[in-house]
Amino acid sequence: MKYRTCVSSLLFLCFFLSPVTNAAESKAVPQPQGERAGQASAEQKWGIRPLGIHLTANNYMLDFRYRVLDADKAAPLINPQVKPYLIDQSTGAKFFVPESQKVGALRQTRKPASNRNYFIIFGNPGKFIKRGSRITVVIGDFKAEDLVVE
């Protein structure tokens, strides 16, 4: 009984005394000039804003997030016939969207709506792509280059 009390007290202290970080307080990584220019081009031509790409599922997958600003311009990117992929810029290796018979492709393919966030999940077999890698996301004629994996 004494052991349980000690452990619960320790957990309580760790939880309440741990530093709390606010998203606004976290340091923003400055974007290279080319990345900002590419983002502005994507917004004007394709009606989307890339939000980032993150490792997920114990680093076996990559989660690409983007915001649709203009649904009409973004419609070709959400077309289910278009097969997105990403390219590791250091090696040229291509990674695709996993697809299963029951679930389908791990991406959204319904008609886009403005001011909503969307995702595409890419496979990362063998944990080949690491945090800090530079990649290019390709969806049909659209390319988001020099994205840094977080």
- CATH number of the domain to which 113 belongs: 2.60.40
Domain tally, the chain:
1
Say whether pLDDT at 103 is over 60: yes
Task: Kindly tell me if the per-residue pLDDT of 7 is higher than 50.
Answer: no
In this structure, what token pair is assigned to residue 2? 């004494």
The Cα-based distances of 119 to 33, 65, 138, 142 in angstroms read 25, 5, 13, 15
Q: Is the pLDDT of residue 72 over 60?
A: yes
Specify if 84 maps to a domain: yes
Q: For 33-47, 54-68, 75-89, 130-144, which range has the lowest pLDDT when averaged over its residues? A: 33-47
In the predicted structure, residue 30 carries a pLDDT above the cut 50:
no
Q: What is the mean pLDDT of residues 79-93?
A: 93
For residue 64, the tally of other CB atoms under 10 A from its CB is 24
Residue 94 lies in a domain: yes
Residue 2 has pLDDT above 50, yes or no: no
Burial 78-99 (b: 16+ CB within 10 A, else e): beeeeebebbbeeeeeebebbe
Domain membership of residue 142 (yes or no) is yes
Predicted confidence (pLDDT) at residue 25 exceeds the cutoff of 80: no
Range of the domain at 114: 33-148
